[in-house]
Amino acid sequence: MDFDLTKEQEMIRKEVRKFAQSEILPVAIELDEEERFSAELTQKMGEIGLFGMFVSEKYDGQGMDYLSYIIAVEEVARMDGSQAATVAAGNSLGIGPLYYFGSEAQKKKYLPPLCRGEALWGFGLTEPTAGSDAGGSKTTAVRDGNEWVINGSKIFITNAACEMTLGVTVQAITGTRPNGKPEYTCFIVEPGMKGFKQVAMHGKMMWRSSNTAELYFDDVRVPAENILGNQGDGFHQMLKTLDGGRLSIGAMGLGGAQGAYEMALKYAKKREQFGQPISKFQAVAFKLADCAMEIECARNLLYKACWLRNNNRPFEREAAMGKLYCSELMGRVVNHAVQIHGGYGLMKDYHVERFYRDQKLLDIGEGTSEVQRLVISRYIGC
């Protein structure tokens, strides 16, 4: 087995880490406090190639492998979960469905500006009554001549209500299958379409500088060519999208854990109590040792899942495992990090406080921890 990264992957880690430290970290606390999405910072991330990393150069993508993309998300998350969410959702949930399921005309129209980081795209799956139960969607689309009429709503949709939003992929019920179950189809909806309303959500505990939206569809008419793929393929498309998205959420957990661990280690070496650095006390040293060990385990698990995907091997089980383990790992690490910082860990002047809040979304987004365990249990035959 070869555990070495390629020279290109090592360069990606180095360059993204440098960018995240110099451009993201200095403004992270301010953006979080103001709950402000930064188009300027997002465009800078686009300029260094953080969008469309796995997309062919034909559509202005980077043409890289999936592990390279995951490493980039990891390095952004090492500094800030909000910007990592913008990148992860922009790629896995926004660009991904268009690239893998879109027509050639749709790819040529939408992918280039998305891959250049000039625009963002939303992924409209979750609804007020359909979270873990994605099959509980109530949004509908009815055929009317050469158009489809969409009615319903979506909630907690990343990148879907900001000045950079170019469009949204929306899953809707378009009929009933022979087995009696709903037929789902995905549609492309653009801002400005009559009856389509985008509302930015505020008051979040975490990811406060990423854009999160509620979407409302009131007799929104979209042309028939705005179907993504074929009628009835929506549910399959959404599940395949979430499989890849789990890897990026895992990368956010891994990167966030790495960042919090490094902050705790640095603090423990400087902070003195009873005449010596607190890193010398076994109670603190063992916490840091556990963090280092679990981060190494998480990285091996997540990178293996990416290797399977890169080699066209089944990776869905490992993606669920990676998402679950990395998400919950970050929870354990940031808890230790705050404890090591003591009272300072509770203050907004210290980044670790933000990491503590940002982690919780990872247990919930793109399939809760409970759903991941359900997925894994099915793969092992339970």
**Would you name the residues annotated as active-site residues?**
366
Of 355, 358, 321, the closest CA to residue 340 belongs to 355
Of 40, 299, 331, the closest CA to residue 162 belongs to 40
Q: How far is 103 from 101, CA to CA, in rounded Å?
A: 7
User: By the 8 A CB rule, do 257 and 326 touch?
Assistant: yes
C-alpha of 131 from chain center? 16
C-alpha of 23 from chain center? 20
Strand ranges, E, within the chain: 120-124, 140-144, 147-158, 165-176, 182-189, 196-200, 212-223, 272-273, 276-277
What DSSP character marks residue 150? E
User: By the 8 A CB rule, do 95 and 369 touch?
Assistant: no
